Structure 1
Amino acid sequence: MKIAQLQTHVFADKTANMAQLETSIAAVMPENPDLITIGEMFNCPYVTENFPLFAEEEGGHTWQKLSALAAEYGVYLSAGSVPELEDGHIYNTAYVFDRSGRQIAKHRKMHLFDIDVKGGQSFKESDTLTAGSQVTVFDTEFGKIGLCICFDFRFPELGRLMALAGAKLILVPAAFNMTTGPAHWEIMFRSQALNNQCFVAGTSPARDTEFSYVAWGHSLLVSPWGGVLAEMDETPGSLVTEIDLTDADKTRQELPLLSARRTDVYELKTI
């Protein structure tokens, strides 16, 4: 399968972000991607007070446009994440659409990004967001794919649960910043990929040094062996990579980390 990762600039205007997305998708279509993925909060500047202002219900205008783009181009679209409104609550939500534009998955960020690094970044998503509670894995003709959002992927239990549910590729729309990005971006994705023996695609917004929250960028794709297959810099652009999900099976056979677990001694399960 071919994955196209779109690292886009985030404008203050939702309409401009959607127009940019359509242009970016059209630009990569000559390379015939099977799946397109984009960054966290791709249509909303990453500031807590923006989330309620930009939020829409599932099935709203943004959802409809994303569905239509997937159908128009005949691709799987893992549509980064957007602010979702439901019953007065705001969620950081990632939708996935199949080649016909049908929604086949939805993940609400489970671990809210509340940090205060001395001399670095301070941010508190819980000021406006509500946490989700579901582990998300969905089916494609290539195999099972897992999905989580940014801070979620720092928790090894979640990556392992997706792998145990059959995921051979995990998609992670994420917006690391200039404090966490240089320190943790690559090592986190590589460690999760090798520990769970699956491909991992981390897709970031492009960096904008004029904005209050400056994203690290560096969207990347990591192999089940833990090697970086491809990585961008911080600027807007795209990354198209062809992978074979059976490589995850091969790695798991050669180095049986998942099957050698001592489930008679320890167990990881969802509630």
Structure 2
Amino acid sequence: MFLSVIIRSFAFTSARSSFSNFAGMDKPTLRLGVVQSGAKDDKKENLKVAREKIDELVKKKCDIIVLPECFNSPYGTDYFSKYAEEIPNGETCHFLKEMSSKNKIHLVGGSIPERDGQHLYNTSTVWNPEGELICRHRKIHLFDINIPDGIQFQESSILKAGNTITTFAAHNWKFGIGICYDLRFEELARLYRNKGCHVLLYPGAFNWTTGPLHWELLLRGRAVDNQVYVAGVSGAYCPNASYQAWGHSSIVDPLGKVVTKAQHDEAVLCVDLDMSLVTKVRQQIPVFGQRRTDVYETVEK
């Protein structure tokens, strides 16, 4: 089943309009597209599916499109080395460069297994409408968990962790990126808010143990804590895969409201983000200025 949703995010109702605050902004609203696709043991087929989904969102006039974690590869330690590519010279990067420049969009390449010398990373790349690579984010927190009768996984057995936080600008909106397990660490989201981000993007692949428990809860928590839009961009459920993604890609507004979400299957989502809502929430519930930085502080090292 394929799901296609387009919805407009509404403003927090009890405030006066502050559109004049955005007179110098390129886009006081920004159309965000999210792809939820499955990944088979066939890179060319995975890129074909990604192309189809991007084309679908381009027809909806999205300004920025985000792909899921490991969109070109099955997710699993047995696959990372086989599918790994150098950035920006690999097959997948050439595909992302083409799709961003041809369609004149910002394109966030979810994540792919990256090979850099002897090391492998789980890496997201961001491409501007000219087809230029403007940044990459290497997953900072590796997915090492052991839940008896649930799931056991150890990314660190083959991947190396990144050690930098990543922001980029699109149409004067500022974005921060985390990959999957990065979502669990509020400190990272706080640093992005400190850096002025309006939107946090989390390509991910929560599973059928942690997904029902925590996926939406964490997305809403990051949004409320930091008064930002948050997009959780999951892979779709693939019945024959060794790792089963939970799906349920979601876009959450700065009030913590789930504006739209998918189910398990392949889908595209499209939402108009509203900068006035970000401003109103921050003005009306001004927790950022009320933090006791004389007592505690979150700092980048």
How high is the TM-score relative to the length of structure 1?
A: 0.98
Q: In the alignment, does 2:116 pair up with 1:86? A: yes
Task: Give the one of 51, 62, 66 matched to 1:33.
Answer: 62
Q: Which whole-Å deviations, capped at 9, do the CAs of 1:212-247 have from their partners, x for residues lacking one?
A: 110000000000010100011110010111111332
Q: 2:41 is matched with which residue?
A: 12
Task: Give the one of 217, 239, 255 matched to 2:269.
Answer: 239
Q: 1:69 is matched with which residue?
A: 99
Q: 1:107 is matched with which residue?
A: 137
Asked which structure has the greater RCO (Cα within 8 Å, sep 6+), the reply is 2
Is the CA contact 2:179–2:204 (under 8 Å) kept in the aligned structure 1? Answer: yes
**1:118 Cα offset (Å):** 1.1
**In 1: Cα distance, 2:147 partner to 2:275 partner:** 37
Code of the residue aligned with 1:4 in structure 2: it is G
Task: Give the one of 198, 201, 217 matched to 2:231.
Answer: 201
Code of the residue aligned with 2:258 in structure 1: it is V
Moved over 3 A (4+): none
**In 1: Cα distance, 2:46 partner to 2:296 partner:** 46
**1:52 Cα offset (Å):** 0.9
Task: Give the one of 71, 80, 83 matched to 1:51.
Answer: 80
Question: Among the aligned pairs, what percent are the same residue?
Answer: 39
- Which deviates the most, 192-201 or 135-144? 135-144
Q: In the alignment, does 2:31 pair up with 1:2? A: yes
Q: 1:161 is matched with which residue?
A: 191
Q: Gapped runs of 5+ residues in structure 2?
A: 1-29
Count how many residue pairs are aligned between Structure 1 and Structure 2: 271
CA RMSD of aligned residues (A): 0.9
Q: 1:220 is matched with which residue?
A: 250
Q: Which structure is larger by alpha-carbon Rg, 1 or 2?
A: 2
Code of the residue aligned with 2:168 in structure 1: it is F
How high is the TM-score relative to the length of structure 2?
A: 0.88
Is the CA contact 1:81–1:93 (under 8 Å) kept in the aligned structure 2? Answer: yes
Task: Give the one of 119, 138, 146 matched to 2:168.
Answer: 138
Q: 1:253 is matched with which residue?
A: 283
Aligned to 1:259, what secondary structure does the other structure show?
helix
**In 2: Cα distance, 1:85 partner to 1:245 partner:** 37
